A and B are shown apart, each in its own frame.
Chain A
Amino acid sequence: METDTRDGPVTKANVTMPETQTTPDQRTAGRASTKMSATDLNLWYGETQALHGINLDMPSQEVTALIGPSGCGKSTFLRCLNRMNDLIPQVRIKGGVALDGEDIYDPSVDVVQLRTFVGMVFQKPNPFPKSIYENIAYAPRLHGTGTSRSELDDLVESSLKRAGLWNEVADRLDTPGTELSGGQQQRLCIARAIAVNPEVILMDEPASALDPLATATVEELIHELKDNYTIVIVTHNLQQAARVAGYTAFFHMGQIVEVNDTDTLFTNPAEQRTEDYITGRFG
């Protein structure tokens, strides 16, 4: 399959999710141990190839960390997992990314719907300039998953609870999300991501702008979310990958050098390039 988005990004208007993928329950029923997988994935920005034949299985209800030096392609790869790269002009993708075995680049896939299944949390907390309540309620209202006020109230509460933020904001849901501390804002963004009931959460350096305490809180949250979601996290912080991830993939120059369970990768990596990177050698 080859998807060329030079003529503009894929929009909701031209696609819908395949019928077999319309409800989370149906998708969950077929859950295998691999939630998402990339197969021989190549990506070009114009003439520059950024990803070279990436093959990676991301296990269900596990945290997979993507590590590697700047420019190695890990964030580019992460963005492929919910087609965020579709928004970038001149991106060309060849190869496959599957969610529960279904190709997410299939022309019949509704990208907006896809992104409710595969949510994203960014490096810099980016709450909407709205109240805490509206930050959570916005997407469910848009997607029609919460219509009545009481449904939305429940959803806001449960999402904030799952993100470990409820106790801190329950009495001030009407205050702007932007008034929270950095760590709280990031947990608000995670709550916003899980409000639409995703199955996979992508995190692009979710704690790099946070202090150590807020980082620890977010990492603890990741650990708890793992029981219900599949998480893929990009991080420059090797210790963070070691702390939160069950599996770690080392990217270098647009390729995956090594994927292994995190314990093995950090104690006895198979590849010299991995060893050099994680031990801080010149390589």
Chain B
Amino acid sequence: MDKKTFTQHISQQYNEDLEHIVTRVMTMGGLVEQQLEAALEALVDGDEQKGEQVVTSDYRINAMEVELDEACTHILARRQPTASDLRLIMAVIKAITDLERIGDEAERVGRMALHLLDEDRRRSPMAEIAALGEQIKGILRGALDAFARMDSEQAVRVAQEDIKADAQYDSIVRNLVKHLEDNPKSVPPVLDIVWATRSLERIGDRSRNICEYVIYFVRGKDVRHISFEQMAEEATGDRR
């Protein structure tokens, strides 16, 4: 993020408060990334320890959400932020909600992975799910990167990646449904796989949400619930 965002207030304390909040968001983002990484290792490699770690570590992300919400509330109460400061606080409040939910989804992937420890991984479309997982990791990383630098063009690129991931998800689910039709006895484990895949897809969607907040901060435009093309235009076109 442009250093000017924090360093030019007349109030040095205000600079520090805002800088602290953004630093903590990035720390929270780092934790969420770790959780996703561990959840994928548990799912794809059948790593039980990683699965347990994911399930027992989510509380740290929840605690950071609460802490950051409180810090943002204090800024609103004490500083009555306006313009880009206000948009920053709004973006942070919304981004941490999505980060917390991404943590929940990662936890769910970890939980499903623990259910699937005894399953033969060669039978399920694990290679495709591993590829989707890598794609989703890249999307989350890209979204956090766009947030850290408040880069609206990067945010658009990440949103585009999420569209590709959604298509990949649809393809995996189609294959799983076909597998269920051919193997009716495999319903419980396949459902777990569907849940885990669904969680990965949701992490992509929530990462895209974070990108939308980046565009809101940078451009002052609300790009939620519009087409990708409109979003790209708002993020890169003339400011007004």
* A interface residue numbers (CB < 8 A to B): 238-239, 242, 266-270, 274-276, 278-282
Contacts and interface: CB of A to CB of B under 8 A. Distances in A.
Nearest to B85: A279
B83 A275 contact: yes
Interface of A is mostly: helix
Contacts of B86: 266-267
B87 A280 contact: no
B240 interface: yes
28 contacts: A238-B80, A238-B82, A242-B82, A266-B82, A266-B83, A266-B86, A267-B86, A267-B87, A267-B220, A268-B87, A268-B220, A269-B83, A270-B239, A270-B240, A275-B83, A275-B84, A276-B8, A278-B83, A279-B9, A279-B81, A279-B84, A279-B85, A280-B10, A280-B11, A280-B14, A281-B8, A281-B10, A282-B8
Contacts of A281: 8-10
Contacts, number: 40
Interface in B194-240: 220, 239-240
A117 B8 CA distance: 44
Interface string B63-83: 000000000000000001111
Contacts of B240: 270
Interface of B: 8-11, 14, 80-87, 220, 239-240
Contacts of A280: 9-11, 14
B11 A267 contact: no
B82 A278 contact: yes
Central interface residue in A268, A276, A278, by most chain B CB within 10 Å: A268
Contacts of A239: 80
B83 A267 contact: yes
Q: Which of B9, B84, B86 counts the most chain A CB atoms within 10 A?
A: B84
Given A282-B9, A282-B10, 11 more contacts: A238-B82, A239-B80, A267-B220, A268-B87, A269-B83, A275-B83, A279-B84, A279-B85, A281-B8, A281-B10, A282-B8
A259 to B, nearest CB: 14
Nearest to B87: A267
Contacts of B84: 275, 279
A279 B10 CA distance: 9
Question: What are the nearest 4 A-B pairs in CB distance?
Answer: A268-B220, A281-B8, A278-B82, A275-B83
A45 B8 CA distance: 34
A239 B9 CA distance: 17
A267 B80 CA distance: 12
Contacts of A266: 82-83, 86
